[in-house]
Amino acid sequence: MPESVLNPAPIVRALQAAFARGASRRELLDLAARRMRAAGPPYTSVYLYMVHGNDLVLEASDGRETEHRRIPVGKGLCGQAVAERRDINVPDVGAAPGYLACNLETQSELVVLIRRNDEILGQIDVDSDVPAGFSAAEEAAAREVADALAVLL
Ligand code: SME
């Protein structure tokens, strides 16, 4: 697989080290958001939405502010991913049915679920100002971070 912009291994190590010294859930989510965004384009903004009943609640983010702090399961790309139990990689948000816009700059979006066995704990949602920002390699790299969070949260 071609190389990804996101290098997940150091992020996973940082999450494990933070967990080992007793970091809170909030600190782990903040760390993941900050370190993923630090990869630079296509990682424009990173949002950690976690499942609370029938809603997704924004628990951490890095990048642009969003007004979408709570999204019902089934709504938007974020809610669709949970309802359909699948990751979603949208190359052109303008053409995506149900897309909830946070700003006019976002061109593409990647949603990767945080799953522990059959349970969906939440998701990493990445907005990109780059059209078709996320290759399959990028998707796989983001999934490694999500899988680490699934174990540590
Ligand atoms: N675009 C998302 C909403 C969340 S913001 O991108 C942070 C969606 O369609 O669900």
Task: Give pLDDT tens digits for 68-112.
Answer: 999 999 999 999 999 999 999 999 999 999 999 989 999 999 999
CA of 43 to the centre of ligand 1 (A): 14
Assign 1 a pLDDT band (cuts: 50, 70, 90). low
Atom of ligand 1 at shortest distance to CA of 98?
9
CATH of 8-152, one of 1.10.3720.10, 3.60.21.10, 3.30.450.40, 3.40.1190.20: 3.30.450.40
d(Cα 79, Cα 54) in Å, to the nearest integer? 9
Q: Quick check: 152 pLDDT over 80?
A: yes
Domains in the chain: boundaries: 8-152
CA angle 53, 56, 58 (to 5 degrees): 130
Mean pLDDT of the residues in the chain: 97
CB-based contact 16:148 (threshold 8 Å): yes
CA of 138 to the centre of ligand 1 (A): 19
Q: What is the pTM of this model?
A: 0.97
